[in-house]
Amino acid sequence: MGMYLARELQKYFRKSGNKYLFHNGMTLNEVAWEMQAVVQCGSIDPGILSKAINGRRLLSEWQVDAFCQALDLTEGQRYDLTFAIMQDRGVNAGLDIQLAMPPPAMTFIVRNMAQIWQATEQGELQRALDMLYNLYQWKCELEETDAPAPVMRILALMNREREQLINAISKSPWSTEMNEIDIVALPSIAELVESIEAELSSDELNQLVSCAPTFSDIERRVWDQRYQKQLSVKQIAMSLQRTPATVESLLLTARLKALTYLQELNKES
């Protein structure tokens, strides 16, 4: 359940008899009470922390924040805890994370996409969606080590799988409540492109648009001013005598077309 998190938490305490003594001198109960004191919502009791350090549960993001504040941990230490939770969630979802011990290779994504396809073919839609959601969590790790173009290609493929899974689930006899959280948690197409477009240079972005045959003249002009001239949405709106909302809409449409084009490239390759 939480093997990697438990291993990371072990850095901050030692066991003395039946007691857990943390490096700031607090006992487990005292750390839990301190965590409760710093949170603005939810509740934390010693049992939650005890289960986490024994690998029987994970901590939520706000619980990790509270733990870091209680022990006065650094941002780097907080990242290590978050990374451990990401590893556990991947394992719990059925991902093979052997190649993701960082940094992940492109092979890591490809191997797990194959597992997701297999789960889909076997009708295990919920498991496939869970795996896909957790695979998204490794995106930032992947982007730090691989060229932008391959990253965009593989993420476009992942997004296509997401849409197909959601469509399949919507037609399945399962209740909406069963899948609502997982579906909402997955990035939308717009969010996906927003998150990866920063990885591309202006030249790469413009090359992408010049290759995509479905861009209209106004979309190309908006794209050029946004990415070649680095203008803000407000500046583009003034230049083209359009409203900011219209410019945002044109950018979104252009992004969707760019992603569709990348998906088509993926099919051809």
Residue 238 sits in a domain whose CATH number is 1.10.10.10
User: Residue 65: how many CA atoms within 13 Å on its side-chain side?
Assistant: 9
**DSSP structure class, residue 196:** H
Do 157 and 213 lie in one domain? The reply is: no
Residue 125 has what pLDDT? 72
User: How many independent structural domains does the chain possess?
Assistant: 3
pLDDT at residue 2 tops 70: yes
Average pLDDT over the chain reads 72
Locate 236 and state its tokens. Answer: 């583009």
Do 80 and 112 lie in one domain? The reply is: no
Do 105 and 184 lie in one domain? The reply is: yes
- Residue-number span of the structural domain to which 242 is assigned: 202-268
Residue 263 has what pLDDT? 53
pLDDT in tens, 210-269: 555 567 778 878 877 877 777 888 899 899 888 887 887 777 777 666 666 655 554 554
Do 150 and 227 lie in one domain? The reply is: no
Do 9 and 82 lie in one domain? The reply is: yes
What distances in angstroms separate CA 196 from CA 152, 155, 179, one per listed residue?
A: 7, 9, 26
Do 76 and 117 lie in one domain? The reply is: no
Residue 189 has what pLDDT? 43
Closest CA to 139 of 127, 157, 126: 157
User: Residue 113: how many CA atoms within 13 Å on its side-chain side?
Assistant: 16
pLDDT in tens, 182-207: 444 444 444 544 554 544 555 555 55
Residue 197 has what pLDDT? 52
Residue 166 has what pLDDT? 67
Please state the pTM of the whole predicted model: 0.48
- Other CB atoms closer than 10 Å to residue 140's CB: what's the count? 11
What percent of the chain lies above the pLDDT cut of 70?
A: 55
pLDDT in tens, 79-123: 788 778 877 877 776 776 664 455 555 556 666 766 777 777 677
Locate 162 and state its tokens. Answer: 């997401």
Write phi, then psi, for 194 (nearest 5 degrees): -55, -40
Residue 225 has what pLDDT? 84
User: Residue 92: how many CA atoms within 13 Å on its side-chain side?
Assistant: 17
Which of the given ranges, 9-13, 45-49, 117-121, has the highest pLDDT on average? 9-13
Q: Which stretches of 7-101 are assigned E, i.e. beta strand?
A: 13-16, 19-22
Using the 3D structure, point to which of 175, 197, 219 is the last residue of a domain.
197
In this structure, what CATH number is given to the domain that contains residue 37?
1.10.260
The mean per-residue pLDDT over the stretch 48-59 comes to: 93
Write phi, then psi, for 15 (nearest 5 degrees): -100, 130
**Three-state secondary structure string covering 110-156:** HHHHHHHHHHHHCCCHHHHHHHHHHHHCCHHHHHCCCCHHHHHHHHH
pLDDT at residue 25 tops 50: yes
Do 148 and 186 lie in one domain? The reply is: yes
